[in-house]
Amino acid sequence: MIFASQNLFAISGKLLLVGGGTERDTPNSWSTPAFQWAINQSANKKALIVHYQTTSTFYPTYMTGQCGAIASKNLIIDNTNADLQATFDTIMNYDFVFFRGGDQSQYYNFYKNTKTAQAIQAKFDAGGVIGGTSAGLHILSKVIYNAQDASVTPLETMPNVANSSITLSDDLFNLLPGYVFDSHVAERGRFPRSIGFIAKWFNDTNEKIKALTVDDMTAMGIGTNNIGTVFGTGAIGIYETKSLKLNPFSRTGKMVADSISVKQLLNGWVYDFNTQTITTSGVVSTTGTFAIETNQSTVMLSGADDFANNSNFIAHFVNNIGTKELPVVIFSGTDTSVARQFKVNILSRGAKRCKIIRLIPSGIANATLLDTIKQTNKFIFIGNTLTQLNTILATNGIGTFINTKIRAAGVAVGFVGNNARFAGKRVVSDNYTVQYAAYDNLIRTTKGLGLLTNTIIFPNAFFNSNTNENSVCTIPYFMVQDTVLHGVLLTSNSYLKYAPKANNKAYFTSDGFQPAIILKNKSSIKTGFSNTTSGKTVGMSPRQIAGFEEMSVSFLDTNARFEVANNIPFAPITDSLKLSVLENDYKNINVTIYPNPTSEVLNIITKNVSEIFGIQIFDITGSVVFESQKFTNQISTASLPKGIYIISIKSKKGIYKSKIIKIDN
């Protein structure tokens, strides 16, 4: 494996990395300090503005009027003059060369192996300042995303780590070794794409590099001392794999990655590229410690509200959790149209029964519903509002019974689309799908149901390019603000499963066309929030962007799992929540099971041996740990981890269940 030279390198020149967005010709603009930094770093304070097609009257005026340049000029360099000596000579007359936005494939195709490329490298090596914004930023890293197949989106990146549309190269400039750059990251929700770049490069070359990402209206100036200073309204992200695996990324299929370290730096923060340390500025705080996940039920979270994108979710819920004989109860709001579609598909998957219950006062005012709820351990929430849900679950009787049961061992609970938010510690407000909500500082959180006690969930992620900023900003922002350990991003084509195991551990797993994205917070790290506005409107609030010393991010699919709890403190099951939902029938068939709790063996005594034709034991995730097609009077439990199990006895009279508890030998 090749490791790119990422530490203790020395660069001769300086870099101004701008993530795109609108600079403004005013002293209070977010961009003015960044460009003033670049001009002050240049020896002759002369700025050359380069584009491959058009000129801009803004930049020369801005450079001389606000940023301190003594001269500034536009220069179009295309395929007709990129390799001319005159172009080389012109570039060498300026100590700050700045590439505008546009299409980086044009820059790359026009400048590769030309006098222009030679001049940029020579100017940088002589101590000059090279800068760029948007597409102009992309060409400044050593490994560059040259966009030969048009701009690839996060949703296009995640399904396939070997995506041929992710076109990378390292043969233009050598300005910052070991890095690939990405721009407009917050605005366009690009951080999964940025990680896709380093995954694709590793896939193609076996070389590990880092991604340096720049939000729109954000910049970083890097001096010859390898110290980077952040300017603007958003964050600078630094991503690298900390995995010890020889292959930290999937080489085929969905992008699967673990131990990706991410740092986010805010305005005024300083990053030392040699030591990889951060000096914070402004109002910062330190995270505390986090409790483990303690929920005992299995929880499934879907990223999409519509029926069409939940086929895999339904199939897994029906066929891979518990038994098909148990009825599935769908809890819905006033509108049950989507719930009815789910019911049809649940029955077509082999479930014996499916019941829709409306979680509104009139919907649960029926005593017979309590028996229905008692007779199953499989529930799905679709189309509810949090206010309505909290009201019902706090209502004595059926409501409080539901609220208790969905947290019990042996129970499976699914939350579909928008309702997936409710399962976590905090719930993102309903405007999470509104354009500019995070930019305008409008998203809030309220207390969730807390089945996942240390998690916040964002479904429908990246569903619309206009709201991608909400997708990538909201979760880390509230992980920092609300001290949440795990953040989950689910696209409309992915689902996540939380499953406690009999060994007292719990894991996230995922399936779908795209992987699930898991962010993990860290204890005792310095954190902060964006405090700089664009300067566009007086009194506007800063964006909802958090800064932090380090988190980790993982991409999960069916071949990976993410541990979220160890030594879950399992609580005893109360009589009102017996996992044997047909306890009375169980007693009526005159079966005795002992000892319970058990350590080594489980004995079964019955006078109705001829009526029993199957015995199964399930762990609390629904996985079969023992099965016999005929009656047996003794089952060894010595090899089972301690925990709670369900024994299912099939007889001619029906299926009867009860819990058993395995203790240490």
Render pLDDT for 543-583 as a digit per residue (tens, 0 to 9).
999 999 999 999 998 778 888 877 655 443 333 333 333 33
Q: Please, what CATH class does the domain formed by 578-662 belong to?
A: mainly beta
Distance CA 101, CA 205 (A): 28
One-letter amino acid at 504 equals N
pLDDT tens per residue, range 91-127? 999 999 999 999 999 999 999 999 999 999 999 999 9
CA distance 268 to 186: 18
Task: Quote the distance between the C-alpha of residue 135 and its chain's center.
Answer: 25
Higher pLDDT, 653 or 527: 527
For the chain, what is the mean pLDDT? 88
Q: Which of 57-71, 182-196, 200-214, 242-256 has the lowest mean pLDDT?
A: 242-256
> Which tens digit of pLDDT belongs to each residue from 148-195?
988 899 888 888 888 889 999 999 999 999 999 999 999 999 999 999
Q: Does the pLDDT value for residue 607 go beyond 80? A: no
In the three-class reduction of DSSP (H, G, I as helix; E, B as strand; rest coil), residue 349 is classed as coil
Measure the N-to-C terminal CA separation of the chain; round to a whole number of Å: 46
Task: Return the exposure string of 173-188: e unless at least 16 CB atoms fall within 10 Å of the residue's CB, then b.
Answer: bebbbbbbbbbbbbbb
- What confidence score (pLDDT) does residue 619 get? 76
Is residue 254's pLDDT more than 90? no
- What confidence score (pLDDT) does residue 578 get? 34
Q: Of the ranges 112-126, 379-393, 647-661, which one carries the lowest mean pLDDT score?
A: 647-661
Domains 21-139 and 298-527+540-566 share a fold: yes
What is the average pLDDT across 28-52? Answer: 97
State yes or no: pLDDT of 47 exceeds 60. yes
Which of residues 656 and 428 earns the better pLDDT score? 428
Residue 280 identity (one-letter amino acid)? T
For residues 246 and 238, the answer to whether their CB atoms sit within 8 Å is no
Asked whether the beta carbons of 629 and 490 are under 8 A apart, the reply is no
CATH entry, 21-139, from 3.40.50.450, 3.40.50.300, 3.40.50.880, 3.30.70.270: 3.40.50.880
What is the Cα 510 distance to its own chain's centre?
12
Q: Is the pLDDT of residue 131 over 60?
A: yes
Q: How do the domains of the chain map onto residue ranges?
A: 21-139, 298-527+540-566, 578-662
Rg (CA), the chain: 29
Rounded Cα distance between 641 and 627, Å, is 17
Spatial distance between the Cα atoms of 589 and 188, rounded to a whole number of angstroms: 62
DSSP state, residue 93: T
Instruction: Say which residues have a Cβ less than 8 Å from residue 414's Cβ, sequence separation at least 6.
Output: 299, 300, 301, 302, 313, 317, 379, 380, 381
pLDDT tops 80 at residue 397: no
Q: Which residue has the higher pLDDT, 627 or 64?
A: 64
* Residue-level pLDDT at 628: 87
Percent of the chain residues past pLDDT 90, beyond the cut: 61
pLDDT given for residue 79 in this prediction: 97
Say whether 19 sits in a helix, a strand or coil: coil
Q: What is the pLDDT of residue 64?
A: 97
Average pLDDT rounded to a whole number, residues 54-80: 97
Distance CA(478)–CA(29), nearest Å, equals: 27
Contact status, residue 462 vs residue 475, Cβ threshold 8 Å? no
Task: Work out the average pLDDT over 379-403.
Answer: 89
Q: pLDDT value at position 582?
A: 32
The answer to whether 423 and 301 are in contact (CB under 8 A) is: yes
**What pLDDT does residue 9 have?**
62
Confidence category of residue 212, pLDDT binned at 50, 70, 90:
very high
pLDDT at 444: 97
Q: Name the band, by pLDDT with cuts 50, 70 and 90, for residue 289.
A: confident
Mean pLDDT, to the nearest integer, of 266-277?
96
Tell whether the model's pLDDT for residue 66 goes beyond 90.
yes
Long-range contacts of 343-348 (CB under 8 A, 24+ apart): 345/307, 345/311, 345/314, 346/314, 346/317, 346/318
Answer whether 133's CB lies under 8 Å from 143's CB.
no
- The answer, yes or no, to whether the previous bond of 595 is cis (omega within 30 of 0) is yes
pLDDT the model gives residue 288: 79
DSSP 574-597: PGGG-S-TTHHHHHHTTEEEESSS
> What's the pLDDT score for residue 576?
34
pLDDT over threshold 70, residue 215:
yes
Give the per-residue pLDDT at 579.
32
Q: How confident is the model at residue 457 (pLDDT cuts 50, 70, 90)?
A: very high
The residue that leads in pLDDT, 47 or 597, is: 47
What's the pLDDT at 571?
Answer: 40
Instruction: Dump pLDDT digits (tens) for 312-368.
Output: 999 999 998 887 888 899 999 989 999 999 999 999 999 989 999 988 876 665 656
Is 559:584 a contact under the CB 8 Å cutoff?
no
Q: How far apart are CA 456 and CA 535, in angstroms?
A: 32
Is residue 88 very low, low, confident or very high in pLDDT (cuts 50, 70, 90)?
very high
Q: Which two tokens stand for residue 219?
A: 């910049």
- Does 3 have pLDDT greater than 90? no
Q: Which CATH superfamily is domain 298-527+540-566 in?
A: Class I glutamine amidotransferase (GATase) domain (3.40.50.880)
Mean pLDDT to the nearest integer, 131-146: 97
